[in-house]
Structure 1
Amino acid sequence: MKTRSNERLCAQAQKGDENARSLLLEKNYGFIRQTAAELYQSMNLGESDLGIEMDDLTQEGCIGLLDAISRFDSSKGIKFLTYAAPSIKNTMTDLVRSAFAQYEQRMTDKKNGPGLQKVLLDEILPDDERMLRIEAIANPTAKSPEQIYLDWETMRELYEGLEKLSEREQTYLLYRYGFTDDTEHTLIGTAIHFSLRESRAKKLEEEAMDNLWLELPWWF
């Protein structure tokens, strides 16, 4: 029996053929599973606390493929799987995004603090006495008063450098490196938080760091 193409199965499914719909899903299940595995590994979900298994991603991918059936237009000259692939991946990343948002909410609730939000630089810049006291308590014998002062000056210059960045770059770096909640976030976690693709978040971070270095007097 001749195997029906994805495009033919999709056309039949669009006419209400449930068998064609099932066959289309079965025919492309391997691709969905592979996409789930790649996403699971690239996001390091096995080591996260999000509670997402690869089977969860696979299930969402199946939903994404089925959603693409009604929107596919064979007259555009594009292959069905090429058209459906973004829908498959997007449903998976939507699941991760939702799980990450729930995780961050749980962490916020656990701390009994306000939700994550932009914090003004002058609200997190410690005063002279507090900075010196923290440094001294942390290691009272390892550093001289002169070294403690130099460290404090470095921190002040860092904050001043951050203040010269764009609001977008400030907000990104403050969240990414835990200035707002004392938790350093992963690149993918930061991307999800700001609704960015991982590649776009990486580029934004590189640009922000480059601009920050240019504002630091000891960089030259």
Structure 2
Amino acid sequence: MNMPQAGMEVKTMDHEARQGQIEDYIPLVKYLAHRISMKLPNHVEIDDLVNSGIIGLIDAIEKFDPSRGIKFKTYAEFRIRGAIFDGLRSLDWVPRSVRKQKKMVEQSYAQLEQQLGRHATDEELSKELGVGLDEFYKILDNLKGVSLGKFVELNNNDSQANGEGDSVIAFIPDRSTDDPYHKFQKHELTEILSEAIRKLPDKERYVVSLYYFDELTMKEIGTVLNITESRVSQLHTKSMIRLRDALKSYVENKGR
């Protein structure tokens, strides 16, 4: 993908140059939209994600400041992803029944694992929910993508102070990194996530590693682990529930 070189002063662009840069980065928008769509139910339209991503790209072009010492492509990716997440929230694409299922599964996970002192098995959780194992897997399939963007949102209250909506989890260097409290908070949060990932059951940990660090698709991960793509999606959903629970506990304890 041919991208323009970072460092040009975007804010002083004339209309033609600005339009040219938008067109140059449309492939990046489509790429990110397709990556995100893989985590979502089929009824979510890819065109809606692309349209939201273009809004994020335009926002990035208008706000990019080369003096901050980052590449425009890095900044644009962050803004595009954020705009797509915002678009998903505004669409309210998750049915109320699915939100109810999500809350029920999260509560059951937390209660069972507190009682057992270990990760609950699928059989134990399905029994706790009062459903068969096949029905439990259907519920996990329904929850595909519901937790998308939660890590980005987690520090939203703290980040609103700078008006940018940046998250401490999304690492884009800026002046705030000179703040010792910011550095400590980011380090602490990273440690919480790292520890939570280490504690995941083996297959869930492999899925998280291959998906987020090696950037394999669900289908590719299925080939590596010799399981179906659907099973990979279910493992991903369970790992996100566990990680969100760990982060939620962290935030709640910080507030005490």
Q: TM-score, normalised by structure 1?
A: 0.48
TM-score norm. by structure 2 comes to 0.43
By relative contact order (CA 8 Å, sep 6+), the higher-ranking structure is: 2
Asked which structure has the greater CA Rg, the reply is 1
